[in-house]
Amino acid sequence: MRLFDLSLRHKIPLWGSALILTAALAIGAVFLVRAYDDLRQDLFTSAASLGQTLAQTLFPALLHDDLWRAFEIVRAPFHEGAAHNPLQPDAIFVLDGEMHILVASDPQRLPTLARLEELPGTFAALANALRSQPLNETRSFDLPATAHFFTATPIESGGRRLAALIIAHDRQVVWTRFFELAVRGALIGLIAVAALLPLNWYWGRRMAEPLIELSKGMDALVHGRPLPLPAAERYDYRDELGQLFSAYREAAAALNEKALLEKEMLRAERLAAVGRLAAGIAHEINNPLGGMLMAIDTLKQRGALDAATAKTIALIERGLQQVAETVGALLVETRVASRPLARHDFDDLHTLIEPQAVKKQLALEWRIDAPDTIDLPASVVRQILINLLLNAVQAAPTGGYLRLQAQAAERVLSLVVANSGAPLPEAVRSHLFEPFVSGREDGHGLGLWVTYQTVTQLGGRIEADWQDGEVRFTVTLPLEKPES
Amino acid sequence: MASLPLRPGNPARRRWLCVCLASLCLPAAAWATKPIRVGLTPAFVHDEYALMEEWRRYLEAKLGRPVEFIQRDSYRETMDLLRLDKLDFAWLCDYPYLYLKDLVRLLAVPLNEGRPYYRSYLIVAANDARQSMRDLKGAVFAYADPYSNTGYLTPRYMVKQLGEDPATFFKKTFFTWSHRKAIEAVATGFAQGAAVDSFVWETLARTQPALTAKTRIIARSPEYGFPPFVAHRNVSAADFEAMQRALIGMQDDLTGKMLLDRLNIDGFVRGDKRMYDDVAKMMRAFGEY
């Protein structure tokens, strides 16, 4: 796996950290270079200023050959307490025209009247530099391979030059100061990096996580199984990422809806096919069954059957009766002549269901918002509602409630039967309206199937769902007969 | 005032008024305008200002008159002040005293370790191998003051005794204007040799041993009379007496004793001009006496 194939989860924080470290190092390096340069410049500026001050007071002393006074002047910057001055010179001395030391702050090292070239150390280099160019103004010397920075100031007044004042600074002074600054800078840098790195890590993860989730989501989307994205739900900014999330959500919702629709259609087709099959079989059975029952009836009326035969005949008759009942149940007939549905039909249903509801201590609520008559066959609608209400009584827990809602709009009658039961298990829900499927132990499983077939034949729809803590069956029936 | 018109009045009565006023004012005026002026020089450790102030107050109390200390860092300036009659008394070196022998009178001589004498020390740095004045030929030499006996006259006399010319014997010489600074010049290495007042060296050896420890005495001169207190010729006999009594009496009271102790001297005696004959001999060698 190549470095650049790393997950964004690692790549963003890594890149951020690299950037922070690079920036810190770059700034640090620039700072150090500047600091060294500034320090050196400060040193030279301070030395030049000191040199000019001392040169002014040295002039009369040297003019009067007052060496002691000159000595006191060059030693003045070395008083006790000046030891902590970071730019403390290492030595100050006065040179005459022949490069002899007239006075020096440290006569042990720079003896009076000694020749500069003959001194140990790097003073000879200074003598050469001074000889190579006349000293007309304060000059600083950063001579290679010397232990000191030198600042030379002419001691002159009114055009008369007496000598040159040299201020020598140990290079170590600058380096010491520089290292102090560098250490301090590094510490500050470390603190900054220590504060920035976790911040960067946190920010990087925050950036990466929604992207990673989105990537997983897109993958799932391509395979037709959109995932819910919790990070996307939390992300409520309208930037590009937010727009991506919202596009994803729309795509996922559209896909879900399509899948749901396809499922519904499949279900409806299956139920219709089962209905047709059942009705077809029921018709095919019904005709010979009627003949068989008629024949048995005739045989019974003719009489003179021995006991064993009569018993057998009765057995066959009961069996056929049961077949007839089942087949009758399967034969859903909505095209019966019936009076239109009236308001008092709902009151009748209340009366019918009440004894059973009382038995389970259910509260009954009838919310009827309908005209006096509705153009729907009263017997069919009553059958639908009785089925649903009986189911609801069974499903509701003892002490719960049962509600019937009817609302007639301009072109549809919507009926809701709700009870305070538990939600239907998914296994039951997906085969709810199929024949011989029952949520209960004792049902034959045809109630809801018949209801579904009836509603469908009326051109309506029936849906079951669980909302607001109750199980709801919603039936929507068109008030005009379907075209077919 | 002069332009104011004078009112005619009785001249006798006016004169009498003036006398009354003058007699009232005189003592106060004398107190305010006639202090005793004392010149101080680097003949002793003269730059301990708190001590000088205490000594001045002590003398004021003793004399019942204001005393003014006039400090100068070179003998030359103090000598000039005496010549200009701007000092009544001065603590001088013996060399300037002999120089001004016609202008001043010997007032009192301090006692150094019980005796009114001191000498000149020839010093080099403690780590310097030189053993005598002869070894210092071609060296950088620090003189104290051109009117100092121990710091100028004596070393030059020593060089002369060696048969050399003091003007060329050393490679370089300079004045530090005080014995203490001459010691510092040697201690720091700025000069290789110096001649200093034995009294100043010994006093510093007591108060600042770190400084004198950096130097080493390689020669001691014969004894000379200690730098004396002198009085200007014009000082009245009464003032002379009073000042002499005050100085000599210092060892008789506690405050005086304490001051003497801090000055590192034991007291004052009247002294005798003959104590300075050796100095006069040296001066004669240079044609100065």
Q: What is the pLDDT of residue A456?
A: 84
Distance (Å) of CA B88 to CA B36, B81, B107, B186? 6, 10, 11, 35
In a domain, A136, yes or no: yes
* Same-domain check for residues A412 and A313: no
Taking CB atoms and an 8 Å limit, are A112 and B188 in contact across chains? no
Q: Which residues pair with A141 in a beta bridge?
A: A150
Measure Cα distances from B178 to A406, B46, B95, B201 in Å: 128, 10, 15, 11
DSSP string, A78-129: G-TTGGG-TT--SEEEEE-TTSBEEEES-TTTS-TT-BGGGSSSSHHHHHHH
In angstroms, the CA A370 to CA B1 distance is: 132
Both tokens assigned to A76: 């003045």
Question: With an 8 Å Cβ cutoff, is B177 touching chain A?
Answer: yes
**Cβ contact (<8 Å) for B177 and A107?**
no
Spans of chain B below 70 pLDDT: 1-33, 45-47
Which tokens sit at A21?
């470290």
Nearest to B140 among A65, A66, A112 (CB): A112
Residue A146 · residue A135 · CB < 8 Å:
no
Give pLDDT, residue B2: 39
Residue of B nearest to A67 (CA): B174
Helix, strand, or coil here: A315? Answer: helix
Instruction: Please say which residue of A130, A158, A178 terminates a domain.
Output: A178
Is the distance from CB of A214 to CB of A229 less than 8 angstroms?
Answer: yes
The CATH number of the domain where A107 resides is what?
3.30.450.20
Q: Of A64, A65, A66, A68, which to mutate for an interface test with B (greatest number of B Cβ within 10 Å)?
A: A68
- Cα separation, A341 vs A121, in Å, equals 125
Q: With contact defined as beta carbons under 8 Å apart, do B216 and B187 qualify?
A: no
Distances (CA, A) of A271 to A41, A237, A448, A451: 96, 46, 12, 12
Are residues A322 and A360 both part of a single domain?
Answer: no
A326 and A353 belong to one structural domain: no
Instruction: Decide if B175 and A65 are in contact by the 8 Å CB cutoff.
Output: no
Residue B276 CA to chain centroid, in angstroms?
Answer: 15
- What are the backbone dihedrals phi and psi of residue B236, each rounded to the nearest 5 degrees, phi first? -65, 155
* Residues A30 and A83 occupy one common structural domain: yes
Question: What residue of B is the nearest CA neighbor of A93?
Answer: B190
Distance CA A306, CA A370 (A): 61
Q: In chain B, what residues touch A71 (CB-CB under 8 Å)?
A: 185, 188, 190
User: What CATH number corresponds to the domain at position A446?
Assistant: 3.30.565.10
Residues facing residue A401 across a β-bridge:
A363
Number of residues that make up chain B: 289
Hey, are the CB atoms on A66 and B174 less than 8 Å from each other? yes
A112 touches chain B (CB under 8 A): yes
Q: Which of residues 145-174 of B touch A (CB under 8 A)?
A: 171-172, 174
Does one domain contain both A36 and A131? yes
Task: Name every residue whose Cβ is closer than 8 Å to that of residue A463 and which is 6 or more positions away in sequence.
Answer: A473, A474
Point out the residue among A66, A67, A111 whose CB comes nearest to the CB of B189: A111
Residue A244, token pair as written in the block? 């991506």
Q: Do B190 and A113 touch (CB under 8 A)?
A: no
**Which uninterrupted H or E stretch holds B110?**
strand B104-111
Q: Which amino acid belongs to residue B101? A: K
Which residues neighbour B196 within 8 Å (Cβ) at sequence distance 6 or greater? B120, B121, B123, B144, B150, B151, B179, B182, B183
Residues of chain A contacting residue B177, judged by C-beta atoms under 8 Å apart: 68
Tell which of A158, A178, A198 closes a domain. Answer: A178
CA A133 – CA B190 distance, rounded (Å): 29
Q: Is residue A313 part of a domain?
A: yes
In a domain, A453, yes or no: yes
For residue A419, list its beta bridge partners. Answer: A402, A471
Residues of B in contact with A111 (CB under 8 A): 189
The verdict on A291 and A366 lying in the same domain is no
Chain B residues with CB inside 8 Å of A108's CB?
Answer: 188-189
Amino acid at B98: L
B-chain residues near A104 (CB < 8 A): 190
Q: Is residue A47 part of a domain?
A: yes
Specify if A222 maps to a domain.
no
pLDDT for position B167: 93
Same domain, A168 and A69: yes
Residue of A62, A66, A71, A73 to mutate when probing chain B, most B C-beta within 10 A: A71
Contacts of B181 in chain A (CB under 8 A): 68
Q: Please state, in angstroms and rounded to a whole number, the distance separating the CA atoms of residues B289 and B276.
A: 12
Q: What pLDDT was estimated at residue B28?
A: 45
Select from A63, A66, A67, A98 the residue whose CB has the most chain B CBs within 10 Å, as the one to mutate to test that interface.
A67
Contact A68 B140 (CB under 8 A): no
Whether residues A34 and A112 fall in one domain: yes
A443 token code pair: 């049902």
What pLDDT shows up at residue A439?
57
Contact yes or no for B174 and A107 at CB 8 A: no
Residue B150 to residues A15, A57, B43, B182, B279, Cα–Cα distance (Å): 84, 30, 10, 11, 10
Residues A323, A349, single domain; the answer is no
Question: Residue A84 falls within a domain, yes or no?
Answer: yes
Q: Are residues A295 and A365 in the same domain?
A: no
Q: Number of A:B CB contacts under 8 A?
A: 33
Helix (H) or strand (E) holding B231: strand B229-232
CA distance from start to end of chain B: 55
Q: Does residue A99 lie in a domain region?
A: yes
CATH of the domain at A268: 1.10.287
Q: What are A435-439's contacts with CB under 8 Å, separation 24+?
A: A435/A274, A435/A278, A435/A330, A439/A395
Count of CB atoms situated within 10 Å of the CB of B65: 16
Are A390 and A470 in the same domain? yes
Q: Is B142 helix (H, G, I), strand (E, B) or coil?
A: strand
Rounded to whole angstroms, the Cα distance separating B151 from B148 reads 5
Cross-chain Cβ contact A112/B172 below 8 Å:
yes
Chain A residue nearest residue B175, CA to CA? A68
Closest CB to B174: pick one of A67, A75, A107. Answer: A67
Q: Which of A68, A75, A104 sits opposite B174 (nearest CB)?
A: A68
Residue B192, min C-alpha distance to chain A (Å):
9
Total domains in the fold of chain A: 3
Closest Cα in chain A, distance from residue B71 (Å): 19
Residue numbers of B between 180 and 219 with CB closer than 8 Å to A: 181, 185, 188-191
The reply to whether residue B142 touches residue A68, judged by beta carbons under 8 angstroms, is yes
Q: Is B126 an 8 Å CB contact of chain A?
A: no
Q: What integer best gives the mean pLDDT of chain B?
A: 87
Cβ pair A65:B177 closer than 8 A: no
Q: Which of B172, B181, B189 sits opposite A113 (nearest CB)?
A: B172
> Which residues, at least 6 apart from B157, have a Cβ–Cβ distance to it below 8 Å?
B282, B285, B286
Q: Last residue of some domain: A163, A178, A193?
A: A178
Sign of CA dihedral B214, B220, B226, B232: negative
**Claim to verify: residue A277 and residue A367 sit in the same structural domain:** no
Residue A23 lies in a domain: yes
Kindly give the parts of chain A with pLDDT less than 70.
Answer: 1, 82-83, 332-337, 436-445, 480-484
Show the domain range for A433. 336-478
Tokens of A247: 């596009």
B190 contacts A71? CB cut-off 8 A: yes
Amino acid (1-letter code) at residue A23: A
Q: Of B190, B196, B208, B215, which to mutate for an interface test with A (greatest number of A Cβ within 10 Å)?
A: B190
A107 interfaces chain B, CB cutoff of 8 Å: yes
Nearest residue in B to A109, CA atom: B189
Task: Tell me the C-alpha distance between A432 and A440, whole Å.
Answer: 12
Sorted by sequence, the CB contacts under 8 Å of residue A278 that are 6+ apart come out as A330, A435
Residue of A nearest to B127 (CA): A108
